[in-house]
Structure 1
């Protein structure tokens, strides 16, 4: 339990916050100014820390989360589209409630880096588990093990998303977040794209160390661990003048209606997120659909992974700078348009080069969606409610993302991949329409207020 608590107070929005004691007797306004000065004074070091974490850490996660290696591996060991959908659904189920739990564990803390190390470390352990299962198990036990590790991976990724978003919000000013994500995602995407091609051609196709997929997962775990280490040892975390009062988990759940009702823009943004995430139901089947028109060799898996992940290199630079300049609403609109267009293209082409272009578009669109969604959520509401706002967003996304792949797997098995893609397009189009009509740029709204 943290000490030096001076008093609690209630804001105009009904939030109970803790004002931490100051031995020098400075006013809250003076301490807020000092907090802001600290952020800018340490920006260079913290920028480098988050850059390295994103470049190395997210490189490994891209190899695991790309709609190529893990879906292809699940299909290879099970021969079932339903199992592929089930695996992705379990991964998302793991992330449904864990963000809320994670938020209640950190929102009252002045420092959250220790929690970030634990939660991030546990997520990385699951990737190691996938690799070890691939090397030492086979048949039904292997399928069960991979599905279990995918569920646990989603569980800890849900809490990790909250804590790392809070860390970035604490030390990176709004006007610098887009370019930071642009460069870390671009360089990380470049590395991931190259590694994806290498992994497909030299790990998977050559069956390196007896299981090329397991080798790929272990390599990803090493990269993500290096990124976490860089963040832990380089970042200097400030202590905010105020935090949320510690609240029991069940009591905190009752605050959800207030979080929604006090900001209609946030409410509609949440709906857009849920629609877009439902549209991701088709993601694990992109590579399986491609296999119906081209031979799914290790080299082709690597090539399409290169297209999907390589899109990060170019698209993220454009998304990041565009977001810093205009706000991320325009990035979100653009990414949804590209996403729909790339899906339509994939459904209507049958050559490797054209499928490569479609996968590039899908990668660019989903990177734009992730960047805009994760950055816009930081700009609604107050700082002290940020952990729970992120958690609520992650949980809402997780609910839809859990059902999407499972429903998609059933649809793919019963009706074919075209039905899955068509349904995905419908949800994306609905999200785009609601975004255009009901969600204003939160940065502009905040400035006007």
Structure 2
């Protein structure tokens, strides 16, 4: 049984340390969910859909930095010190929000809202800067045939903890007024992020042999158009990512729509975050194992399908008599979609990339999504204001299902023939 859950002995220390880093990070975000607590927080400070839409738009800022730091990351002999230094700025904003919320929420709500946006931008920008180095670190620490299970099991453990965490967050919101409840959630999130940081410190970075082929920054930038032109498989995958990414931010509007359409309280609406985390936890176990066995491309397709089915169902569950149960299924699908797409964002791009160019491919994949990830939430908010949530949900379902079809029919899985097969179709 141990052989199914843990890799060979020489990998187990890092498997555990980095796995706990991820698990505790997921637990932290269960207290400050982009689909639960953060939209509720913003809805208390502003009644604008645009204000809610700014949350996934700012979260998408994490997609921009990787392409700018890819060259630097490839030249770093050691990645861990860089990751540790940058990720401090990813975690401290939660402490600041825990202190600022009770001080400003009632007396200066607009100032608090802008402070929140600024801190959210800092944490997501820092995550984006650290991402290529962190993912390359994982790729060097964990063997290829264990990465799906590594990400799946560690995210699943985080999800199990997060189910309790999101239930705790809902209980805090139900017991205290919204100011105190949300401030406590931010504080607990920071504590969990601190524990996650300690695990990252204790990981052991493997020594890398000298690589004389590391490009200069300018050289790396000049190579990007050539990589995209040469790698047909990458082009198709990036096109599909654009479609799915354009649909994904809709999930931030589900909880606001459910609360308004079904007349739910903050505490009741907050329970949907528990459903989302529970389904994401189950999804991490399922997708990680399936990805290692049948290829991560199929997990991409499954995640895109769930992304498209969730808004279709949201169109049909607006009756207060049975809508609360139906919306639970919406969040179940959203959790499965989130876990699938987050897992494959870390695994499938590694499968596609040559080992020496992993940071560059990660940067390209993130940069390609950035325009849609940044613009879609704001355009979606404008569409919701003008035409209502049903119009938004119908459009995003169409985009996600089109993305699923493109991946299924046009993207080649490099591992389809078994092992490390040829990378991509080259034209």
What is the CA-CA distance between 1:81 and the residue it aligns to?
0.9
CA distance 1:136–1:52, change in 2 (3 Å): same
What is the CA-CA distance between 1:76 and the residue it aligns to?
1.1
Partner of 2:412: 440
User: Among residues 215, 220, 223, which one is paired with 2:192 in the alignment?
Assistant: 223
Radius of gyration: which is bigger? Answer: 1
Question: Cα deviations across residues 110-168 of structure 1 (Å, max 9, x unaligned)?
Answer: 21000111121111122223323312223211111111112212211212222221111
2:180 is the alignment partner of 1:211: yes
2:333 is the alignment partner of 1:367: no
User: Among residues 123, 130, 137, which one is paired with 1:160 in the alignment?
Assistant: 130
The answer as to whether partners of 1:89 and 1:401 remain within 8 angstroms in 2 is yes
What is the CA-CA distance between 1:179 and the residue it aligns to?
1.0
What is the CA-CA distance between 1:244 and the residue it aligns to?
4.7
The answer as to whether partners of 1:75 and 1:84 remain within 8 angstroms in 2 is yes
Unaligned runs of 5+ in 1: 1-38
1:107 match: secondary structure: helix
Equivalences for 1:175-214 in 2 at 5 Å?
A: 175-202=145-172, 204-207=173-176, 210-214=179-183
With structure 2 as the length reference, what TM-score do the two structures score? 0.90
Partner of 1:427: 399
The answer as to whether partners of 2:156 and 2:285 remain within 8 angstroms in 1 is yes
CA distance 1:236–1:382, change in 2 (3 Å): same
Partner of 2:4: none
The answer as to whether partners of 2:302 and 2:404 remain within 8 angstroms in 1 is no
The answer as to whether partners of 2:40 and 2:266 remain within 8 angstroms in 1 is no
Aligned residues: 408
Q: For residues 421 and 186 of structure 2, what CA distance do their matches in structure 1 show?
A: 47
Question: Cα deviations across residues 74-121 of structure 1 (Å, max 9, x unaligned)?
Answer: 1111111111112332332x3243112332332111210001111211
RMSD over aligned Cα, in angstroms? 2.0
Partner of 2:311: 343
CA distance 1:48–1:215, change in 2 (3 Å): same
Partner of 1:124: 91
What is the CA-CA distance between 1:41 and the residue it aligns to?
5.9
Question: Cα deviations across residues 333-377 of structure 1 (Å, max 9, x unaligned)?
Answer: 112222222221222114222211221111111111111222100
The answer as to whether partners of 2:244 and 2:400 remain within 8 angstroms in 1 is yes
Question: Cα deviations across residues 384-410 of structure 1 (Å, max 9, x unaligned)?
Answer: 111111111112222211001111111
Partner of 1:78: 46
What is the CA-CA distance between 1:243 and the residue it aligns to?
6.1
With structure 1 as the length reference, what TM-score do the two structures score? 0.86
The answer as to whether partners of 1:342 and 1:359 remain within 8 angstroms in 2 is yes
1:47 match: secondary structure: helix
Partner of 2:380: 408
Q: For residues 73 and 209 of structure 1, what CA distance do their matches in structure 2 show?
A: 8
